[in-house]
């Protein structure tokens, strides 16, 4: 068992700025997480899983699903020494550790490599690293992972007793999910264009309306758009397609690529970034389908926050009203929120020439940490502070 040498929240947080305080609290949270997990795993070992869940419900007053989730996560973490150690030392955040633990229950992983990645990567980056590694270690080009994900599909529609609203909850494999996201985003764009600009719906309302329209009025048809973008590299020496993936980077077994390529509504294009149709200049303001595909492949997701590319749009880096062109190098994929950051909060699009990737950075001193010595959280517990 790892001994995390609990310091919890040291007295120094009193003097730390808000940024420093948040960092210390994050470390303390990781330490508590590992202690709680070890305690639950030990309960499960001494009694059984059901006994541990019951105790979690009695002692922590957790809901049945939270107790189930926590005990399962604790049992997984108990088998992962390197992850527990990194969590206890505060080097790896709790959510990252949970991601590694879940992956370990799905098949073979290289724990050391994932822990090293978890020390520096954001949550979304780590999720991608996990997916890539699972694919590499699967031994069957990721086919078993893909089949398992398909098996796990589920949907549930129920009326909430609390609000009287209907709640739709569903999980799909990456290919089906990506196609649904594409169709939904197309419908949302159609609704957006039909709106009175002075009385816009919220994004959530528009998504709900789009979903209802697709289910209740299929006769209104699908809007023409991009259904699913698949990407693969061509290995010239072996003369075959390798490294098949969805445009968001999710690896695909080659067998699935072949199956999908036979379907009619898949866009069968090989984009060449140098072709003329990606350079539209001032001829049109909106990106073309060919540009959107090229951007999805290059950016994979919103370059600011990683939101689904289907739900994002093409932003002119040099703004259209300042004479910016609708050319591939002047366009970048951003979601609505990140778009507002650029226009309303002066965020800048940055281009890394080495990796070719774009990102969005806040203006200098966007969030100054201006000394908070006198500020104290309310309801402070002195035990935790010493």
Site for Zn ion in 223-242 (CB under 5 A): none
**DSSP codes of every residue in 150-173:** HHT-EEEEEE-TTT--EEEEEE--
Least CB distance to Zn ion at residue 305 (A): 3
Least CB distance to Zn ion at residue 142 (A): 28
Site for Zn ion in 336-375 (CB under 5 A): 338
313: part of which helix (H) or strand (E)?
strand 313-316
Least CB distance to Zn ion at residue 339 (A): 8
Q: How far apart are CA 306 and CA 14, in angstroms?
A: 34
Least CB distance to Zn ion at residue 179 (A): 21
Helices (H), 121-237: 123-137, 143-151, 174-194, 203-216
Question: Are the CB atoms for 220 and 212 separated by under 8 Å?
Answer: no
- Which residues partner with 246 through β-bridges? 230
- Which residues partner with 313 through β-bridges? 334
Q: Which is nearer to Zn ion, 297 or 307 (CB)?
A: 307
Q: Which is nearer to Zn ion, 257 or 295 (CB)?
A: 295
Least CB distance to Zn ion at residue 319 (A): 18
Q: How far apart are CA 204 and CA 211, in angstroms?
A: 11
Site string for Zn ion, 303-342 (x = CB under 5 A): -xx-x---------------------------x--x----
Site for Zn ion in 244-303 (CB under 5 A): 302
Q: Which is nearer to Zn ion, 56 or 332 (CB)?
A: 332
Q: How far apart are CA 322 and CA 282, in angstroms?
A: 11
Q: Which is nearer to Zn ion, 226 or 303 (CB)?
A: 303
Please report, for residues 106, 172, 178, the alpha-carbon distance to residue 147 in angstroms, rounded to integers and kept in the order given.
Answer: 12, 12, 16
- Give the count of beta carbons closer than 10 Å to the beta carbon of residue 204: 8
Q: Which is nearer to Zn ion, 103 or 302 (CB)?
A: 302
Least CB distance to Zn ion at residue 307 (A): 4
Q: Which is nearer to Zn ion, 295 or 338 (CB)?
A: 338
Q: How far apart are CA 95 and CA 125, in angstroms?
A: 13
The total number of residues shown for the chain amounts to: 386
Tokens read off for 222: 């699908």
Q: Is 157 helix (H, G, I), strand (E, B) or coil?
A: strand
- Give the count of beta carbons closer than 10 Å to the beta carbon of residue 239: 7
Q: Which is nearer to Zn ion, 37 or 332 (CB)?
A: 332
Site string for Zn ion, 156-195 (x = CB under 5 A): ----------------------------------------
Q: Which is nearer to Zn ion, 21 or 358 (CB)?
A: 358
Least CB distance to Zn ion at residue 317 (A): 15
Least CB distance to Zn ion at residue 278 (A): 23
Binding site for Zn ion (CB under 5 A): 302, 304-305, 307, 335, 338
């Amino acid at each position: 068992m790892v001994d995390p040498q609990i310091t919890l929240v040291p007295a120094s947080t009193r003097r730390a700025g808000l940024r420093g305080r948040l960092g210390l609290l994050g470390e303390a949270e990781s330490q508590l997480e590992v202690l709680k997990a070890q305690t639950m795993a030990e309960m499960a070992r001494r009694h059984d899983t059901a006994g541990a869940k019951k105790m979690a419900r009695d002692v922590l007053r957790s809901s049945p699903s939270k107790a189930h989730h926590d005990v399962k996560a604790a049992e997984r973490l108990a088998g992962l020494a390197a992850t527990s150690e990194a969590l206890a030392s505060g080097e790896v955040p709790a959510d990252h550790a949970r991601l590694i633990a879940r992956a370990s229950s799905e098949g073979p992983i290289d724990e050391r490599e994932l822990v090293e990645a978890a020390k520096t990567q954001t949550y979304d980056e780590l999720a991608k690293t996990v997916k890539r590694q699972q694919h590499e270690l699967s031994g069957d080009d990721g086919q078993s992972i893909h089949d398992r994900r398909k098996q796990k599909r589920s949907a549930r529609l129920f009326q909430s007793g609390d609000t009287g609203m209907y709640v739709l909850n569903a999980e799909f494999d990456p290919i089906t999910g990506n196609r649904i996201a594409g169709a939904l985003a197309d419908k949302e764009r159609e609704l957006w264009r039909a709106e009175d600009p002075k009385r816009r719906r919220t994004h959530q309302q528009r998504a709900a309306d789009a979903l209802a329209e697709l289910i209740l009025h299929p006769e209104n048809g699908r809007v023409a758009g991009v259904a699913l973008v698949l990407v693969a590299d061509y290995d010239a020496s072996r003369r075959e397609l390798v490294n098949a993936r969805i445009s968001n980077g999710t690896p695909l077994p080659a067998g699935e690529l072949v199956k999908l390529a036979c379907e009619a509504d898949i866009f069968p294009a090989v984009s060449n970034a140098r072709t003329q149709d990606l350079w539209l200049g001032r001829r049109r303001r909106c990106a073309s389908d060919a540009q959107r595909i090229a951007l999805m492949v290059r950016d994979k997701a919103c370059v600011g926050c990683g939101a689904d590319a289907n739900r994002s749009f093409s932003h002119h880096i040099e703004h259209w009203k300042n004479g910016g062109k609708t050319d591939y190098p002047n366009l970048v994929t951003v979601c609505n929120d990140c778009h507002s950051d650029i226009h309303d909060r002066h965020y800048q699009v940055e281009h890394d020439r080495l990796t070719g990737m774009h990102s969005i950075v806040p203006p200098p001193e966007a969030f100054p940490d201006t000394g908070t010595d006198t500020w104290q959280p309310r309801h402070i517990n002195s035990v935790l502070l010493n």
